[in-house]
Structure formats: C-alpha cells, structure tokens
Amino acid sequence: MFLKRLELAGFKSFANPVSIEFEDGVTAVVGPNGSGKSNISDAVRWVLGEQSARNLRGAKMEDVIFSGSETRAALPMAEISLVLNNEDSHLTIDYSEVAVTRRVYRSGDSEYLINDHPCRLKDIVELFMDSGLGKESFSIIGQGRVEEILSSKAEDRRAIFEEAAGVRKYKQRKQQSEKKLGDTEDNLKRVRDIIYELEAQVGPLEEQASVASEYKAQKEELKLVEVGVLAEEIKTMHADWTENKQKFSEIGARKQRLQSSVERLEKKLHQKVRELKEADAEVEELQKMLLKISEDTEKQEGLKELWKERKKHYSQNRQQYRKELEQLQDKRSQLERVLEQEKQSWQNIHEKTSATQKKLAEVNEKMNNIGENKEAELEDLKSEYIDKLNNKTSLSNEFRYLEEQQLKITASLRRKEESNTDLLKSRKEQQQMVEKIEEEWNQAKEEVTAQIHLWKEKNQSLEAETRKYDDKESLYYEGLRHLQQMEAKQDTLETMQQDYAGFFSGVKHVLKERDKSFPGIHGAVAELLTVPAHLQLAVETALGAAQQHVVVEDEATGRRAIQFLRDRNLGRATFLPKSVVKPRNIPAYELQKLNTYEAYLGVGSDLVEADSQYEGIVNHVLGNVIFATNLKEAKSLAQSIQYKFRIVTLDGDVLSPGGAMSGGSVQKKQGQLLGRQREIDDIKNKISILREQTETLEHELKEWKNKKLKWKQDLQQLADQGEDLREKERKSKMKLEEAKLHYDSLQTRLRVYDMETQETIEEKSANEKRIEQLKSEIEKVSGILKTSNDRIQELSNRKEHDASLKSELLQQQKEFQIALAKEEEQEAHALRALERMKSEYQALTKEIIEKDEANSLIEAELSEQAVDASSVEVVLEEKKQQKQELIGKVDKSKINRDELSKAQREIESELRDTVNQHTYHQEQHHAVEIIINRLDVELDSRLGHLQNEYELTFEAALKEYPLQQALEEAKEKVKLLKMGIEELGEVNLGAIDEYARVKERYDFLLEQKNDLEDAKQTLQDIISEMDEEMTSRFESTFTEIQGHFKDVFSELFGGGKAALELTNKEDLLSTGVEIVAQPPGKKLQNLALLSGGERALTAIALLFAILRARPVPFCVLDEVEAALDEANVQRFAGFLKDFSHNTQFVVVTHRKGTMEEADALYGVTMQESGVSNLVSVKLGAAEELVEAGAVKEGQI
C-alpha cells in the first residue's frame, strides 16, 4: 500500500483546489516560512481523524476553513481527500484504491466519506486501526512529536512505545471492560440491597399467607352449608309468598282496567313531555344554526373583498416584472454580440499560436536530425566550445530580445498613460453620478422605511387588539356554551326536584299529592336538611334510606298517607310524625370522652341545619350518629365508647355498633337528594354571573367590529402609499446599481492598468541592468570562443557545413521561441477577457431566469386567486340559501312545539280523573299486601345475603348447594363455623398473592445475582488477559526497538552508544522509558544533558528505530530535522533515502540536504497574500532530460 494522491480545497491557506500526486520514494514539500507548507501535513492528520483543533494549530475546528484575504472572501467549507493504493489489501476493505474524504462547514457540521460513501468518524478510525496509519501513529511525525520525545517524562514517553507496539486497541477494550465491570458491580450492589429487603418480607408474608389460606378454607365450608340453609328457607318462604300473591291478584282484578288506563295515560303523558322537550331542543338547535350561518355569511363576504384587493396587487407586480424582464433581455442581446466578437478575436490569436508552435517543432526536428549524423570521436574536443557557443548564443538572443522588448515597453507605457488619463476622467464623472443617484436612493429608502414603520406600528396595534378581542370572543362563545350547559343542568335538576327523581315510588307519590290530599306532610328528611358540602357524603351515608323518610304533623296524617299508597298500590314509605317521634341522644359523659380526640367532628344533629320545628326529627335520625375524619381515627373513637354508637367518616366509611365496618368506593351521582336544592341555588347564581359577563362581552365585541373595520381601512391606505414609495425606491436602486456597475468596471480597469504599468516599469528597469550585464558576458565569451575555435579548427573543417546549419537552426529556434512566448501571452490575455465576458453573460442570464420564475409565480398566484374567489362566491350563495331555509324551519318548529304543549295539558287532566277512581279500588286489597310485603322483606333479606355475600341467585344456590343434613343441624354448624372464622382475627387475604409475587421476585433476583457475579468474574478474566497481551506486546516491541535504536544511533552519530532503559521493570504496564546516549567523544549521560542538536538527532534516531521495527506504508515528516546542522542533515537525508525502499516519505522541509535526496519536489508559494499555491518538479525526470539534452548539444 502507498499514498497516491492528496486533494485539498478550502483547507487553511489552500483557497484554490489543489491535487498532490505522490510517487514511490521521497517527496519533499518546500517553501519559505509562512507559505503554508506545514498545512499539508495538517491536512493528512486531519483527514485521518484528528479531532483536536490545538493539534492542527488552531483554536477551534472552523479555523481549518480558508478565512479569506484582502482580495478573497472566506470560504464556507474545507475538504480533504486522501487516496491510497490498496492493491495489497493492507487495509481491511474490499477496494484496490481507497479514498478517504472529510469535510467541515462553518456551521460546525462535518461529513466523512470512504470512496464517496457517507460514513462515521468511527468507521475511518477503525479502518486505519492496527494498520500503522492514523492520526496518532508514526505515519505522521512533526516537530511536536520530536519535542514530545525530548521533553516528556519517562512515564509519558511510554505512550510512544505503546503506539509502536499496537496496544492502543487493547487499552480501549480494557477501558470499556473496566467500565462494564464498574456497572456490573453497581448492579450487583443494588440487587444485593433489594434481596436483603425482600428477605425481611418473605418470612412474615409466608405466615400471613398460611393464615389467609386457612381463612379461605373455612369460608368455603361456611358457604357450602350456609347457602344450603338459605336456599331451603327461601324455598319455604317463596311457597307462602306465592299463595298470598294469588289472593292479592284475585282481589286486584277489579281495579286492573283502571290501572291499565292510568299506565296508558302516564305513558302517553311521558311521550308528550319527551316530544315537547325534543321540540324545545330542536327550536334551540335551529336558532344556533341560524346564528352560525349568519356569521359564516359575513365571513365569506369579507373574503370576497380580500380576494379583490389581492388580485389588484398581483396584477401590478406582474406588469413591473414583465418590464424589467424585457430590459434584461435587451441587455443580454447586446452582451451576446460583444461575446461573439471576443470569441473570434481569441480564435484568431489561437490559430496564429498553433502555426508558430508547428514551425518551432519543424526546426527542432531538423536540429535532431543534424545531431544524429555527428560522430562520437569529436565530443571531448568540442564540449567546451559547444558550451561556450551555446552560452554566447543564448546571451546574444537574450540581448536582442531585451532590446526589442525595451522598445515595446516604451510604446506600451506611452499608450497606458494616455488610456489611464481618459479612465481617470471617466471615473470621476461616474463617481459624481453615483453619489447623486445614491443620495436620491437613500432619500427614497428613508421614506419607505418611515412608511413601513408607520404601517407596522398600526398593524401591530391592530394585531394586539385583535388578539385581545379574539380572546374575548373565545371567552364570549365559551361563556355562551357554559351558560347553555348550566341552564340545561338547572332545568334537569329542577325537573328532577319537581318529579322527586331518586325517591322511592311510594315516597314520590305521597310528596306529589301533599298539597292536594295531605296538608300535614312537611316533606322528606332530605328536603328539610341543609348540609355543608364537605359533610354531604358522610350525612348521606349516615341517613341511608332515612333521607326519604317523610316528616308528617301527626300519626293520623301518616296513616292517611299509608292508606293512600295501599289503596292505589303505589309502593311503600316510612313516615316520621312530629308529635310522637322521640329524639336519640348520646350521653354527655360519652361526648366528653369524644371531645378529647382531634378526629371527632361532632354529632350529626349538631352538624346540619334545619328549621327549629324539626329539631326532634333531626335528633331522631342523626342524634346518635358520630362523625369522624377518617376510618383509622374512627376506630380509636369507637374503642373509647365500647362500640356503642354508629360512627361515619368523611369518606363514607361506617363503624356500626358492635364493631362491624363497611366502606369502599362511592360513585358520585348527579342530583343527589341531599344538597339538591343547594346545587340548584349555586347554579342559579353562576347563571346570573355568566349572563352578565356574556352581555358585557357581547357589547364590547360589537364596538370592536366597528373599530376594526375603520382600522383596516387606514392600514390599506398606508399600504397603498407604501407600495408607491417602494416602487420609487426600487427604480432608484436599479439606477444606482447600474451606475455602480459602470463605476466598478472603470475602477477595475484602472487597477489593472496600474498593475500592468508598474510591472512594465519594473520589467524595463530589470531589462536595462540585464542588457549591460549581457554586453560584458558576450565580450568575455567571444574571447574564449576564438581561442577554442583555433584549437579544434583543423578537426572541424569537414563539419563546417553542419555547424553553419546548426547555428542557423538555433537562430530560427530562438526567434520562434520568442514569437511563441509573445503569442501565448496574447492568447492568455484574450482568453481571460473572454472568460470575464462569459461570467457577466451567465450572471445576466441567471437574473433573467429569476425574473421569469418570479413572473411565473405571480401568474400562478393570479390563477389560484381566481379559483379561490370563485369558490368564495359559490359558498356565499350557499350560505344565503341555507339561512332562508333555516328561518322557515325555525317558524315551523315553534308551531309544532305549541301544539304539543296543548296536547300535554289535555292528557294531564284525563290522567288525574283516572287516578282518583283507581285509588278507591286499591284500598280494598291493602291487607293482603302487608302480608306479601313482610314476606318480601324476609325474602329480600335472604336473597340479598345470597347475592351480597356469595354472589349467587336462588336458583343457582338450590341447584349447586343442596342441604346434606337437617335444617336445624345445618344452622348450628353455620354458627360454629362463624365463631371459628372470628377467632382467626384480622386476615390479610392479599398476603397469598403478595407472598407469591415477592417469592417469585426474590427467586428471580437470586438468579440475577448469580449471573452478575459470573459476569463480573468473566470481565476480570478478560482484563487480566488483555494486561498479559499488552505486557507481552510492549516487552517484545521495546526489546526490538532498543536493538534498532543502538544501531541507528551509532550510524547517525558516526559512532557512540545509546540505550533505552525502563524505570520499573517489575511493572511493564506502567513503567516509564528513559533515554541515555553517549555521542562520540563524550561520556554516557541522560538525554536532558545533551546539546540541542544532539538531543534532536537522538530523538530522530529513536523515530527511525521505531520505523525500522514497525514499518509503515507511508510517513509524513514535518520539519523534524529543523534543529540539525548541515552535516547531520546529510546523515538524516541518507537514512531517509535508505528507508524509502520500504516506506514512502512525504517530508515538509526547508533544509537543502533533505531536498537533494528527494525524488520529487513540491514548492509552496504565496504569490497572492494569504493564498498558497503549488509548483511540482519530478527530479528523476528532470535529470534524464538534462542528460539527454547535454548529449545532443555535444554532438554539434
């Protein structure tokens, strides 16, 4: 493998793209200080993956991009491509040629490519790993690396040997393994901590799970027996219930027709009520739709006006662009004609140059033919004469050429001075014109800026106000929606209150009839109490069904109500006569105990409000109920009063007398009995506030719409004025750009004339000096020629003809060469003029294309605007038609609603008459109903127990749990089983699943711990193996380098001795490396005690020893021999030449001895300030040409 090519573009001082071709052997890069030659070694280092800007002699990575100069702008990107010949597959990639490319942009973004395929930096680093190449390998050695060897501590110097030993990848892998080992130890520690915690849980959970299993077994046995008992009891009771139900049906047959009529009328009434509500909703929905259609119509009309204004604006822009496009096309036509003239001029010069080249080739061919006829026997005699003759000829030709040039230069200077005077005058006139136009343009800009500023201020104010009122509009519609929701909720709650929704059937009927038939009825308990919101759930739980108990004046009223329900078969109700109901109280001494607890909230009767006449009722239903904050604290209260009274918490949990507990989650229902009136009042207050807010917002929005319309008109007027001013500014700008372009052209021509004049003057001065020098040299050479000619005349008589011919051909050759140089210069000048015209033509063409594209965009926009405007017209007509249709639908819906209301009133009247008749017949079978109700209660109790406790129906219980023994024996067994379950105490049923879950996790973590311990041991083994491998590699490499170092040192110094010593031979993984040297004639001493040159040569000896031990395909050396004297440079260059048989060298140098040994030279120059350029010379080919030329000339 070898380095084939390096391509640079925009890298540091290489602004122009540069390609460096490398051959086998030594390639030297030379140039003066500051020319940028070291940037080539930086380029190689950078493309191989260098990430440190400091190592590239910069502060940040963007510093590698060409930053511009006095005459050049900064470039946006730097790119380096390194091309390698990989035919020997030295790199592990399936390509015979590998091109590695790296780019960096000023934005900080980077790109990496291998053979033009995008890749990562990591891929490039891995490609060169262990190949002997890379940014840290010995393929790139700079002065910094030499200084590193000289100045490093012994421990730091070790890194050089590690790199040569190839242990870098092992160190990286070791670091990765050590990191994994640390992570594994952390994970192992966490797992051990968790296992320790779980071990404390497994034992207690196992014991609790055992108790829970025993509890479940006894519960299952209890279920088996108790379900059988319940099923047998239900079976017996159901038979009694069936018998009484038959009697009840026979008695009730007479009132069946009336009941059917009532039900039919109620159903019909409910249907009408529902239809009336639907009609109301329909009217409301249609009115909303009508409002929405009206708003949409206004919006479409606004869009219609907007489209008209936009169309006008785009039409004006289209006319302006067309005018500008025509002007540019005329200008391009003129430029095309000039360009064609320049092309013809260049073509004529090119043909003339080709003809001269052809003539020169013919002369060269004749000279070669003459040379072939010479005989070798005269070479030694004529060599001196030929040299001097050639010298004289060259001097004479140069003398004549310079005299001709002086005449031409004098004429040229005279012409340039005349042209320069005319250009100066034109430039002054053009500058005055530019200043005048620029003043006009600045004034136009200020007017446009002021107008834009005024428009922006006005528009920003409008936008701010619009956002403000948009928010208000959103609030308005949100308020309307919320108001409608609240009104609907109010209607629902008031309807529920009027219909007594949620009350039992019997209670509902009694309360509805109280004003007509039962004046002594005060209402349900839930209606008479006022409960704080935070206590509502607790009071509801405490009251339970008592919320629906009906408070009556006396027992007589209660009896009449019960008879009413019985006669009409309307259900049941519980009545609380004020005259006889006794209050329930908690003794004062018990209350004193409770007052000592913070969780005690009070007795229920003290926490609610009611009219004073209902004090007895309140004490009856809540006087013995205690309220507490939570269940945990409630238990403490219950224990203090020996579980005598019921305790209710704020969450609705209950501790019953005797110790029973109930609780859990409670679903909140809308319109609960307690607090229903409070909720209605709250909603009414909110509706009042919302209605006031929405009316205020509606008034503000109406005022805003009028204000907004006026504002938009003002904005449009400002926009129109601004467009006129902008058009004026655009015209001034175009005029100014044209004037500046002409001025810049004159300025450029003046600079070119100045540069050419200065160059011409300098050339004239140099020619004058050279002419005087040539005169002296020609006289001296003529004398020498005469003496030499006398000595060889007798041997050259028969060759006079050839000599004469040769002289004539040489004269022709010089003349043609002079003519050719002049013609080539004229051709280059014509070509530059042609290229400049082409660039100007291309820029103009680009501007025409851009104008044409802009015009096309406007045409497309106008077409699109036409389609949109048409769509708006169609939508507007549709909205107007929909509005008329909705008005008709609203009127029709209102008529339908009035008809339904009338029908509802007629059905209600008929229903009242039928109900009165039905009530009379119902009283007759009330007695039978009492018996049935008692059986219902007992059946419900047992069926409820089956359902709540065992989640079974009666049929399933009778089928799945047949009684296996006598009923009384089974009841006794149930009693014993319940006692056994009670003795088990509190049971954690979740312990069974919790124990299984914890045990499973505990076992899993034990397995994880074992796996982590195995992984830890494996990582420790891997680290040990890598330590052994690194030790072995370091030791063998160090031994090999040490041997080569001794040899190379002796060869470089011409004698002496040197050695490498380890600071700690017991620990090869951390030992340092000391260098001791004994130059010829000195004693053995440490590197630090040597002179500067000796230290540098010793460091170079070490580098050559490393390269001998670990050869690399190519090596870039950056001024490593800078500190050496000339004699040592010669030795260094000789070593370089010897090593070049196995390693390709690229040497950045300014030392003559190194250049002499190079096979190819690249010169780095900076003719343009801040921009580096390359000049290449292949020395081998040059030597061959020189030798061939000398042979041919010797045959004259």
Which tokens go with 812? 């022709």
Write the CB contacts of 1122 (distance below 8 Å, at least 6 apart in sequence). 143, 1150, 1151
One DSSP character per residue, 898-942 reads HHHHHHHHHHHHHHHHHHHHHHHHHGGGHHHHHHHHHHHHHHHHH
What span, in angstroms and rounded, lies between the C-alpha atoms of 376 and 549?
148
- 626 DSSP β-pair partners: 603, 647
Annotated binding residue 863 = no
Which tokens go with 520? 């002594």
CA distances from 679 to 154, 331, 393, 530, 671 (A): 89, 84, 125, 11, 8
Annotated binding residue 33 = yes
Asked if residue 201 lies in contact with residue 995, where contact means CB atoms within 8 angstroms, the answer is no
Asked if residue 75 lies in contact with residue 65, where contact means CB atoms within 8 angstroms, the answer is yes
What span, in angstroms and rounded, lies between the C-alpha atoms of 1100 and 1098?
5
Say how many residues make up the chain.
1196
Annotated binding residue 35 = yes
* Of 189, 410, 92, 206, nearest in space to 1008 by CA: 189
What span, in angstroms and rounded, lies between the C-alpha atoms of 336 and 845?
11
Q: How many CA atoms lie within 13 A of 386 on its CB side?
A: 19
Asked if residue 62 lies in contact with residue 1134, where contact means CB atoms within 8 angstroms, the answer is no
Asked if residue 996 lies in contact with residue 201, where contact means CB atoms within 8 angstroms, the answer is no
Alpha helical stretches, state H, 514-587: 525-528, 536-543, 555-567
Helix 1126-1139 × helix 1092-1109 angle, to 10°? 0
Q: What are phi and psi of 773, to 5 degrees?
A: -65, -40
SS3 456: helix
What span, in angstroms and rounded, lies between the C-alpha atoms of 207 and 220?
20
What span, in angstroms and rounded, lies between the C-alpha atoms of 375 and 795?
12
3-state secondary structure 1018-1060: HHHHHHHHHHHHHHHHHHHHHHHHHHHHHHHHHHHHCCCEEEE
Which tokens go with 108? 């900080």
Annotated binding residue 38 = yes
End-to-end CA gap in the chain: 47
What's the gap between Cα 490 and its chain centre?
50
Annotated binding residue 34 = yes
Asked if residue 80 lies in contact with residue 102, where contact means CB atoms within 8 angstroms, the answer is yes
CA distances from 85 to 24, 96, 835, 1053 (A): 11, 6, 37, 36
Which tokens go with 293? 């259609």
Give the dihedral sign, CA 431/432/436/439: positive
Burial level of 880, CB count in 10 A (0-12/13-18/19+)?
Answer: middle
What span, in angstroms and rounded, lies between the C-alpha atoms of 91 and 113?
16
Which tokens go with 732? 């001034």
- 1168 DSSP β-pair partners: 1171
Write the CB contacts of 1106 (distance below 8 Å, at least 6 apart in sequence). 138, 160, 161, 164, 1041, 1044
Helix 967-983 × helix 168-252 angle, to 10°? 150
Strand positions, DSSP E, 152-299:
none
Asked if residue 1139 lies in contact with residue 1113, where contact means CB atoms within 8 angstroms, the answer is no
Q: Which residues are annotated as a binding site?
A: 32-39
Q: Which residues are annotated as a binding site for ATP?
A: 32-39
